[in-house]
Structure 1
Amino acid sequence: AVPQSYIVSLSHLSMKPLRMNNTCIVPTLLMLWMVLSGSASTRAEEVEETEDEREFDYMRGSEKGPHHWGELKKEWSACKHGQMQSPIDLSCARVKIIPRCQLLLTDYFSSNATIINRGHDIAIYWKGDAGSIDINGTEFFLKQCHWHSPSEHSINGRKYDLEMHMVHVSMENKIFVSGAFYKIGHRPDRFLSQLEKEIEHLVDGEVERQIGEINPSGIQTRGNMYYRYLGSLTTPPCTEGVIWNIDRKIRTVSEAQVRLLRKAVHDHAVRNSRPRQPRNQRDILYFRFKSRAKSKK
C-alpha cells in the first residue's frame, strides 16, 4: 500500500494541460504517477482481493462487517487506518474538470475464463492474456471483473442498482480499476445475458466453472466522460494506491440479472457494497475522453 508520506493534496496544481509529443498531460496526473511509481512498491499479495470471502462479510452489526475489516487481520489494517480508501461519493461540486485531450486506449480480446463464486460476489477471471488498457503510456493488463449491488460509489449522493469493476494490473504490480454504473431498466445487460446460464450453475452449488473463451470487449464500458481518483481496493486487504476510473454513463440491467447475481452467492446477504469512505481532500478529476478500442478474436 502507499505509505502515509505519499498521501498528497493535488489541489494546488495548475489544471492547464501540457502538450508533449501530441499527447496531453495534466500536471495533476504527473504528480499522481510520481506517487504510484515511487519507492513504495506493491507486493504481489496486496494486488489481489481476498478470494476466501468467508473471512469477512457485509452484514450490519456483524463482527466481520465492513467497520471491523481492519481489525480482523494485521494485513488488513488499511481498511481501518488508510487515508485513501474507496469507495467515495463523486460529487460534482468537488471535481476538477480536465480538457478533452486524453486518449483512453483499450485493447481487449477473447481468452479462456473461469467464473467463480467468491462467497460475496461473482467474478470472471481470465486465465490467459485478455488484453489491456493504456494509461499515459503504462499498460495495465485485465485480470478479472466482478459486480457489487447496490453500487459502491455514488454520484452526488445517489447510488445505482449495480456496479461492475474491471481489475487491471501493470508489470510493476500497480492497480487500475475501471468501473461502470447500472440502473434497472427494460434492456438487460448484454454481457451478463451471455453469462446467465453459467451463473445459474453456481446457484446450484458449483463454486468454480470453466466457461471457455470470453471477450471482455462485450462489457461495453467505453463512454467519453470519466471520474478518476486515487483510492483503494473496496474489499480486504483494502490496498491503497489504486487508480479508479469510473464511467459517467449509466447503463441498464434487468432486475432479474441483479437478483441472479445475489442469488448465486453463498452469504445470502441482500447487498455486497462497502460503505462510502471519507474523501480526505483527495482530488477527483473529471475527463472528457476520446475513446478508442480494438478487439482481437
Structure 2
Amino acid sequence: MRYSNRVSKFALIFLVLAVSIAASARAQEVDDEREFSYDEKSGIGPSRWGEIRPEWKDCNSGEMQSPIDLLNERVRIVSHLGKLRRSYKPANATLINRGHDMMLRWTNDAGNIQINGTLFHLRQCHWHSPSEHTLDGRKFDMEVHLVHQSDDGRTAVIGIMYKIGRPDSFISLLKPGFKALGETEDIEKAIGMVDPGLIKFGSRKYYRYIGSLTVPPCTQNIIWSIVRKVRTVTKEQVQLIREAVHDSLEVNARPIQPTNGRSMELYRPNDIKN
C-alpha cells in the first residue's frame, strides 16, 4: 500500500511538472515566423493566424488579445500598482532574425522585474514598426517589447513606443549588429555583453492590462505594462532594423484587437508629475 501511495505521489508530481512545462512552452513566441505573414493578401495574414495551426487558435478566438488601443476614457488611474521594479544587469546576447522581426536574446541571466512580489526574468526584446499598441487611437513609429518569464511559466511584457525624433541610444549601441545582419544572409549574430538597463523608460507612469502575445501562438493571460512616455527614434534607425529582417515587408505590427470589456489601469505615482 505504501508503494502504491509513493507511486501516486510521484505520478502527481510528474503531472504537475508536465503541466507547468507545457504552460511555459505555450507562452513562448515562435522563433521561426515564416509560417505566418503581416500581409493580408498572402492568405496567412493576421486574420488567418488562428487557422494555420491548431495551437494558434487563440489568435482568432481568444477574447484577451493584444495589441489594444489604450483609450483614455477607458483607463482607470491608480497608484496601488507600484513602480516597475527593474533589476537588470549586463549579459551575453545574440541578435536573431526570426523572419519578420529582430530579436535580441540574452543567453544568460540579464536580471528581472518584480510584479506583485513575483520575479519575472528578462529573456529577450524585439521591435515592431509601426507601434502595435495605440494611445487614444494614435499609432507611433516603433515599439519595443521586453519579454520576461517567471519560474512558474507566466509571462510579463513591457512595451515602449517611439516617435520620430532624436536617436535612441540603445539602438545606436546595437547598430553594428543590425548592419552586419542586413548585409549578409546570416540569421543571427552574437554581440557580446549587452546591458538591458540601457533601455530607457523615461517615466514611472505605465498602463497595465491583461492580454496576449502579439505573434502566434497568441497565448493569453500575459501581463502587459506599456510605458506612458513615448520616446524618440530616427527614421534611419527604424529602417536599419527593418532592413536587417529581409522579409520585404514595410510593417510587422499586428492590427488592434477588441478590448472585450477588459480593465485598463494607468499607474501614476502620488509623489511625481512624470
Q: Same fold (TM over 0.5)?
A: yes
SS of 1:272 mapped into structure 2 = coil
Q: Which runs of 5+ in 2 are unaligned?
A: 1-18
Confirm or deny: 8 A CA contact 1:79 1:237 kept in the other structure: yes
Q: How does 1:1-297 map to 2 (within 5 A)?
A: 43-99=23-79, 102-185=82-165, 187-204=166-183, 205-289=185-269
Question: Which amino acid letter does the alignment assign opposite residue 94 of structure 2?
Answer: T
Q: Percent identity?
A: 48
Query: Aligned residue pairs: how many?
Result: 252
Question: Which amino acid letter does the alignment assign opposite residue 204 of structure 2?
Answer: N
Give 1:222 deviation, angstroms: 5.0
SS of 1:197 mapped into structure 2 = helix
SS of 1:93 mapped into structure 2 = helix
1:164-216 CA-partner distances (Å, limit 9, x unpaired):
0000000010000000010001x100000000111011112221111100000
CA distance 1:289–1:108, shift in 2 (3 Å): farther
Question: Which amino acid letter does the alignment assign opposite residue 178 of structure 2?
Answer: I
2:4 is matched with which residue? none
Give 1:60 deviation, angstroms: 2.4
Q: d(CA) in 2 for partners of 1:250 and 1:149?
A: 14
Q: d(CA) in 1 for partners of 2:269 and 2:178?
A: 34
More strand by share: 1
Question: Which amino acid letter does the alignment assign opposite residue 223 of structure 2?
Answer: I
Q: d(CA) in 1 for partners of 2:113 and 2:157?
A: 10
Question: Which amino acid letter does the alignment assign opposite residue 229 of structure 2?
Answer: K
SS of 1:96 mapped into structure 2 = strand
Question: Which amino acid letter does the alignment assign opposite residue 246 of structure 1?
Answer: I
More helix by share: 2
1:8 is matched with which residue? none
Q: d(CA) in 2 for partners of 1:287 and 1:51?
A: 32
Q: d(CA) in 2 for partners of 1:198 and 1:290?
A: 41
SS of 1:61 mapped into structure 2 = helix
Q: d(CA) in 2 for partners of 1:99 and 1:151?
A: 26
Question: Which amino acid letter does the alignment assign opposite residue 238 of structure 1?
Answer: C
Confirm or deny: 8 A CA contact 2:20 2:152 kept in the other structure: no
Give 1:267 deviation, angstroms: 1.2
1:5-52 CA-partner distances (Å, limit 9, x unpaired):
xxxxxxxxxxxxxxxxxxxxxxxxxxxxxxxxxx99862221210111
SS of 2:229 mapped into structure 1 = strand
User: Normalising by the residue count of structure 2, what TM-score does the alignment of the two structures yield?
Assistant: 0.89
Q: Which runs of 5+ in 1 are unaligned?
A: 1-38, 292-297
Question: Which amino acid letter does the alignment assign opposite residue 228 of structure 1?
Answer: R
CA distance 1:264–1:285, shift in 2 (3 Å): same
